[in-house]
Amino acid sequence: MSRADQAEREAVLRPPSIDRMANWPSLQPLIDRAGRALVVEALRDWAAAKRGSADVIDQDACLRWCEAKLAHLVEPSQRRVFNLTGTVLHTNLGRALLAEEAIQAAVEAMRSPTTLEYDVTSGRRGERDHHIAPWLTRLTGAEAATAVNNNAAAVLLALSALAAGKEVIVSRGELIEIGGAFRIPDIMTHAGCRLIEVGTTNRTHLSDYAAAISPETAAIMKVHPSNYAVTGFAKAVPASELASLAHARGLPVIEDLGSGTLVDLETWGLPHEPTAREAIAAGVDLVTFSGDKLLGGPQAGLIVGRRNLVDRIVRNPMKRAMRLDKLRLAALEATLRLYADPARLVERLPTVRALARPTSEIRALAERLLPALARAVGADTHVAVEPVRSQIGSGALPVDLLPSFALALRSGKLDRLAQAFRGLPVPVIGRMRDGALYFDLRTLDDEQGFVDQLERLDVVAH
């Protein structure tokens, strides 16, 4: 090849300027999504990687390369999934789904300035707790209420405000640990109070509490063991008896309900879970519970109880560090409002709807989906409708399982199959157990969306 021919070839393969490449029409949609700065950065890398190659001037190849390069920046890292694990309130998958009313309230709060801390009647500063406190007191029978960013914060704040530097009595059978290494003894240490353990892991008597009370005692605490159960030769002191003892000694009782609920779940044939109203009626002075578990709202820690105690908590300097923003307050208020009409909760609140879903409806759904799923996975995978047990999740009613139905997939390449389902546009998350991949359908609401993407499974799997 002559020098002239070589120079001509090198000129052809020399990449255009980055500015010219950034103006290629094929790249404009990517620029609209990712922004010009990120695309220009990717183009520089493309030009460096492809210098001297015929690919350097191939616009389609350049677009594909840049899209792959920027995929982790352009696509949101938090994506919608189908939760078919059999765990309704799955901590790793975001726990409770919000009601449409809560979603709309949060969206409205995003779009506009709001009366977060403003009283339009007086024209003066307001209190953000006032958006949810009236509903919480109405629904629990408590005198006052406040909210923070989760229930761990609620427990920490209550102990810090009411018992810092003093003793708090707790049964050994209630020194729980939940996910994320949240331990009651550790929380007490960080709150600045001293733990006084009474009783044994399986039996604690009222006399144990009475014997432990001293001039240094600030409170008696009762913790609902929501993520485990002690059965057999076991005894726990009812909240009403603890309250009588504590009040006779001038002490408050604090009860952490953990998951918490505002209604009797037995209404829908579910196991009983203690409610905040029951605790208040039993004489408990302060109750803490979650907003994003059985209550079915956004992440929050709710505190209800005697006004003088709630006032002390609100005045604690840590309260500001734990407060809710306007989005979660709007969603929480809308969720609480739904409880004013409990007869319609199954219809309007996704958590209650999933928990109360009839097994006949779940089985019918499984039978409808079976043919489409069998076609998608091919003859090498056996698919069947099988009875399973769902769990509520997030520490709620841990030993109580709900009868359900699942599509069970059995194959010699089960790990690859599970990966293929996770690789769909809307990842499908199931549960691997006993040599099968189970898709529990209790929480599947979008039947058509699930079916529509099955045709892409083979493409992903290979």
| Residue-wise DSSP of 161-205 | HHHTTSEEEEEGGG--EEGGGEEHHHHHHHHT-EEEEES-SSB--
Separation between Cα atoms, residue 117 and residue 203, nearest integer Å: 47
What integer pLDDT is reported at residue 49 of this predicted model?
A: 84
For residue 5, the model assigns a pLDDT of 45
- Where, residue-wise, is CATH 3.40.640.10 in the chain? 100-348
Q: What are phi and psi of 258, to 5 degrees?
A: 70, -110
Portions of the chain given CATH number 3.90.1150.180? 82-92+354-461
Which CATH architecture fits 100-348? 3-Layer(aba) Sandwich (3.40)
Tens digits of per-residue pLDDT, 86-108?
A: 999 999 999 999 999 999 999 99
Q: Do 392 and 294 touch, CB atoms closer than 8 A? A: yes
Cα–Cα distance for residue pair 441/62, rounded to 1 Å: 42
Mean pLDDT, rounded, of the chain: 90
CATH code linked to domain 82-92+354-461:
3.90.1150.180
Average pLDDT on 113-135 reads 95
Confidence class for position 462, pLDDT limits 50, 70, 90:
very low
What is the C-alpha to C-alpha distance for residues 245 and 238, in angstroms, rounded to an integer? 11
Q: What is the pLDDT of residues 342-378, one digit of tens each?
A: 999 999 999 999 999 999 999 999 999 999 999 999 9
pLDDT over threshold 60, residue 300:
yes
Residue 211 burial class via C-beta count within 10 angstroms: exposed 0-12, middle 13-18, buried 19 and up: exposed
